[in-house]
Homo-oligomer: A and B are copies of this chain.
Amino acid sequence: MDIEKVNSMDFGEFVDVFGNVIERCPLIAAAVQSQRPFSDLQDLKKHFFALIDALPQPGQEGILRCRPDLAGRELQRGTLAAESQREQSGAGLTSLGADEMRRLAELNAQYRARFGFPLVLAARLSDSAAVPRELERRLRCPPAQELRTALGEVKKIGRLRLADLLGADPAKL
């Protein structure tokens, strides 16, 4: 998809296509679309990121709270957004043993209790062995630093999703 095609989309089309670049936050896509035209695909990505950065902190936490748990109940029930389902399956999170599942559920609960939002991690850039290690490491981070880290992961996930939707090389976005 080229940038002319993106710029020609009306509001409804744009939100249908890009509404889940930031998971379950079509508001972000709606806000980005109001800033048309975009000069190129990278410029489109920059508008998504700039809007996240410009949100007041509760809004940024709201974005994180709209994310599902990694290897959580929704993955098991198959009620995740299609993108998350693919990403978490690809990282091997659908084929964990019972002990690993239990350990992850415990860590997720501790993380959510400490920070008020679920762990966000770009699963496509990780694997099932790395996820619990990363969770343990991040559980020990100060909250302000962890908010920045988590928003960085939201951006990594968004960049990969945009690259898929646009048929673009993620390295060039």
Contact = CB atoms under 8 A, between A and B. Distances in A.
Interface stretch (A50-58, A121-129, A156-164): A50-58
17 contacts: A11-B65, A11-B116, A15-B65, A24-B26, A27-B27, A30-B63, A30-B66, A31-B58, A31-B61, A31-B62, A32-B58, A34-B61, A34-B65, A34-B117, A51-B58, A54-B56, A55-B56
A28 interface: yes
Determine chain A's interface SS by DSSP, over half rule.
helix
Among A15, A26, A30, A61, find the residue whose CB has the most chain B CB atoms closer than 10 A: A30
Interface of A: 11, 15, 24-35, 51, 54-56, 58-59, 61-63, 65-66, 116-117
A35 B59 CA distance: 11
Contacts of A63: 27, 30
A75 B72 CA distance: 36
A51 B58 CA distance: 8
